[in-house]
Amino acid sequence: MPDTPPLLPDAAPEEQPGNDMPSLSTLPGLAGTAASSSIPELGFQLLPPPAPEVFPLVRSEDGRMALTNEALEVDGQTVGWRELEAVDVQPVRWLLWFLLGGFTLAGFMLAFLQNWLRTIPAAAGMAAGALLLAFGARGSNRWRLHRPGREVAYFALPGAARSWQQLAAEANRRIRQRHDEAAASTTYWMQRATWPPAAPGSLPTTEDGF
């Protein structure tokens, strides 16, 4: 049997000159960069301000004041929310009636104790003094409407002070909301007039390069 030559391993493929650098697709972290290079970069977009808030109609217990979506109505007068800076309410006692009732009550009580008056006239006088005292202590609620560049408007409204204070808090909230919406809308239109902003390389320069 003739001798057969031993099997030799296959020779390694020869490297082609100029192909010694790895491709971008084989490098980690660069494959995604190469794939995303064809996607255009998204820039900033100018978004319009949100729609104005719609306020529900709120009326006072006696119906003399109403808080609408656009204005404050009190005693037949209408003042827009943007025309107001703030409102406040303060309970005010009627000092004249309070003092008159107190003096009347004290006078008839003193006259009855000194036996200057009989029981029925003294009781009637003390009852009248007590009514005057209660009427003066009841007082009213003084509303002040602060308007920029104009005089403060005053309104006197009777009733419980707590309900009027709640209405004043709601009115101030609506005033602030309308002012914030106006400021946001003004800022939006001012930015839109100069949109899109100038690129850094397109800024004007002087001859000295400054």
Percentage of the residues of the chain whose pLDDT score is greater than 90: 29
Q: Burial, 84: exposed, middle or buried (Cβ in 10 Å; 0-12, 13-18, 19+)?
A: buried
Q: What is the pLDDT of residue 198?
A: 56
The residue to which tokens 């494959």 are assigned: 31
Q: Cβ(125)–Cβ(108) under 8 Å? A: yes
pLDDT in tens, 7-23: 444 544 454 554 554 45
Better-predicted residue by pLDDT, 47 or 169: 169
Task: Assess whether pLDDT exceeds 90 at residue 89.
Answer: yes
User: Cα 77 vs. chain centroid, distance in angstroms?
Assistant: 24
pTM equals: 0.60
Q: What is the pLDDT of residue 38?
A: 45
Task: Assess whether pLDDT exceeds 90 at residue 73.
Answer: yes
Task: Assess whether pLDDT exceeds 60 at residue 32.
Answer: no
Instruction: Tell me which long-range contacts 14-22 makes (C-beta under 8 A, separation of at least 24).
Output: none
Q: How confident is the model at residue 96 (pLDDT cuts 50, 70, 90)?
A: confident
pLDDT in tens, 147-201: 988 899 999 888 888 889 999 999 999 999 999 999 988 888 888 788 766 555 5
Q: What is the pLDDT of residue 210?
A: 45
Q: What is the pLDDT of residue 199?
A: 53
What would the mean pLDDT of 17-38 be, rounded to a whole number? 48
Phi then psi dihedrals of residue 76, to 5 deg: 80, -5
What would the mean pLDDT of 91-102 be, rounded to a whole number? 80
32: left (phi over 0), alpha (psi -120 to 50) or beta: alpha
